[in-house]
Structure 1
Amino acid sequence: MSIIVQNISKSYNDIKAVENISFEVKEGELFGLIGPDGAGKTTIFRILTTLLLSNEGSATVADFDVVKDYKSIRNSVGYMPGKFSLYQDLTVEENLTFFATIFGTTIEENYDLIKDIYIQIEPFKKRRAGALSGGMKQKLALCCALIHKPKVLFLDEPTTGVDPVSRKEFWEMLKQLQKKGITILVSTPYMDEAAMCDRIALIQKGKILKIDSPENVTKKYDKIIYDIRAKDTYQLIQDLKHYPSQYSVFAFGEYLHYIDKKQNFNSTELLTYLQNKNHTEIEIHISNPTIEDVFMDL
């Protein structure tokens, strides 16, 4: 195993950021920590990259203990924090050279690893990092995290605030890096990105709710979800919340996702109820569950 986390807990004064967390990441796996802001993802990353000490539990990264072998871990991993943390007054080329020098290597020595990413930012190599676009900053940060050929790559919310095209490109890059044998642990609040991982851990309020492959997370979901929409969306939400057998209802794009408590639920009854509430242009049909649906239910 590349990463083993056993019963890790961390508190800040009276606030429990992470509580009794355990999971394992296999060698060469792309593993996702999926959850909203404040779920504890960054705290876990900081513990695993030896920047924080946990209150309880133990963890190993690339067979090194996060407390006893912290220096070995720092030489063996690449870390891209959520906030852009490179030197904004240095150029692209200067940032890369600086990080390569820290790890006792050169850009040329590991160029094969970063080549596919670097060629996209090479036209801007003389530009200061602070003047790059969000997507270019992201690619530069990834190059700097890879420059020493790490065994494990930690990416903390790497696509937050980045445009959809750059997000898609970034995940394609991660898939290519995975093919080169690098173990990747990535965190994201975007549920659609979870499908790109081999396995995911759904996390909320410092606790892991579920660990499985994205396919299994949705396949094992046993509730029927209905897509519902009508002309007045706001009033539709209010009326569905007051429907006697309503189990859950929340907005999902242009539709509402609705689940009923009844096993033998009849959508015709619901349609009549909504018509009696003066709703028009009503649509009701069965929907395929998404990871977001499972997360909301958990």
Structure 2
Amino acid sequence: MIADALAIDIKGLSKRFGGRLVVDDMALQVKRGEIFGFLGPNGSGKTTTIRMMCGLLTPDAGEGHCLGFDIRREREEIKRRVGYMTQRFSFWDDLTVRENLDFVARVYGLSGRRARVDAALGQLGLMARAGQLAGALSGGWKQRLALAACMLHEPELLLLDEPTAGVDPAARRDFWEELHRLAARGVSVLVSTHYMDEAERCHKLAYIADGRLLARGTAAEIVAAQKLATWQIGGAGLVELAQRLRGQPGVDQTVAFGDTMHVSGRGGGLLEATLRRELVGTDYQCRLIETGLEDVFIYMMSRAGVGA
């Protein structure tokens, strides 16, 4: 792959805090103009990896480039070209939306500040709220303000660390529509998320646990690689049925999904035989379904010992 076509190209990245290995031999490539989803449980090393990518942390081992610049030697060049949105809203509650953006523009030393701020307000639909105090905004509007601030200096790459946590579904949908508009203009996006519907809107995904990369590729490629068969079961007494099925031949996991249960396993024939034996003569409704991304991530988490 041609290096110029990559926004992020890292390999062998590792980082310790104290005696704990937080990121272990991480390797990733993100194309320019691509929305790349970064998934994993809390404490899996996502934030640490993101901070190493953009020059905020120095890796203990490994190497890489961000937007063509070395992540060790050219960190200031990277910072000028990257927009980084942290997990928590980090602006000034007692300043208006416009004042917050103007302050960020001053920090970056941007020329034509008013025009840039006006453009950001218009692009993110914030013009009508420009005079509102940031502290009075809802979670969705704070999120828009944070993204507007990230875009003021016209970055080539956005690093978004769980940007939609705690935001309502409508605001999340609007946010993702904006990300796809930015990607269509050539902006690269790396976004960490816990939401499976968001993961499915990414062009590519990487899943990590305990600092290690477990899977990467498109959503379809990651699902196919695990070779799971999944059956959906409906009816009364699913908790008791799940307990009975665990450990049976072919059954690798049972997961509640609303008023149904998903039963998955890599031994498709064994799994089907077990279900037919256990459900014969009962009122349960059972059907083979396509394995979903959430089924796969729960499976990978259990295999990695996360939450065990």
Q: Which residue of 2 aligns with 1:294?
A: 296
Q: Which residue of 1 aligns with 2:305?
A: none
| CA deviation vs aligned residue, 1:128-147 (integer Å, no higher than 9, x gap) | 11111000000000000000
- Structure 1 position 263, deviation (Å): 4.2
- Structure 1 position 281, deviation (Å): 4.0
- Structure 1 position 273, deviation (Å): 2.2
Q: Which residue of 2 aligns with 1:177?
A: 182
Q: Which residue of 2 aligns with 1:152?
A: 157
Aligned with 2:264 (options 259, 263, 270): 259
Could you tell me whether the CA contact under 8 Å between 2:36 and 2:191 is conserved in 1? Answer: yes
Aligned with 1:115 (options 91, 99, 122): 122
- Structure 1 position 2, deviation (Å): 1.1
Separation in 2, partners of 1:262, 1:219: 14
What amino acid maps onto 2:292 in structure 1? T
Divergent runs of 4+, >3 A: 109-114, 242-245, 260-263, 265-269
What TM-score, normalized by structure 1, do the two folds share? Answer: 0.91
Could you tell me whether the CA contact under 8 Å between 1:113 and 1:149 is conserved in 2? Answer: no
Could you tell me whether the CA contact under 8 Å between 1:49 and 1:66 is conserved in 2? Answer: yes
Matched, 1:93 2:95: no
Partner secondary structure for residue 115 of structure 2: coil
- Structure 1 position 155, deviation (Å): 0.4
Aligned Cα root-mean-square deviation (Å): 2.0
Moved more, 2-11 or 217-226: 217-226
Q: Which residue of 2 aligns with 1:209?
A: 214
Matched, 1:137 2:139: no
- Structure 1 position 62, deviation (Å): 1.1
What TM-score, normalized by structure 2, do the two folds share? Answer: 0.88
| CA deviation vs aligned residue, 1:176-212 (integer Å, no higher than 9, x gap) | 0111111111111112211111111111111111111
Q: How many residues align?
A: 293
Separation in 2, partners of 1:28, 1:55: 29
> Any stretches of 5+ residues in structure 2 without a counterpart?
1-5, 301-308
Could you tell me whether the CA contact under 8 Å between 2:223 and 2:293 is conserved in 1? Answer: yes
Are residues 114 and 21 of structure 1, via their aligned partners in 2, closer, same or farther at CA, if it must alter by over 3 Å?
farther
Aligned pairs for 1:187-226 (under 5 A) are 187-226=192-231
- Structure 1 position 244, deviation (Å): 4.3
Identity %: 34
Could you tell me whether the CA contact under 8 Å between 2:80 and 2:155 is conserved in 1? Answer: yes
Aligned pairs for 1:63-102 (under 5 A) are 63-102=68-107
Are residues 108 and 23 of structure 1, via their aligned partners in 2, closer, same or farther at CA, if it must alter by over 3 Å?
same
| CA deviation vs aligned residue, 1:37-66 (integer Å, no higher than 9, x gap) | 111111111112222121111222111122
Separation in 1, partners of 2:220, 2:274: 32
Moved more, 172-181 or 46-55: 46-55
Separation in 2, partners of 1:111, 1:288: 47
What amino acid maps onto 2:186 in structure 1? G
Moved more, 237-246 or 182-191: 237-246
Matched, 1:22 2:24: no
- Structure 1 position 34, deviation (Å): 1.2
Could you tell me whether the CA contact under 8 Å between 1:145 and 1:153 is conserved in 2? Answer: yes
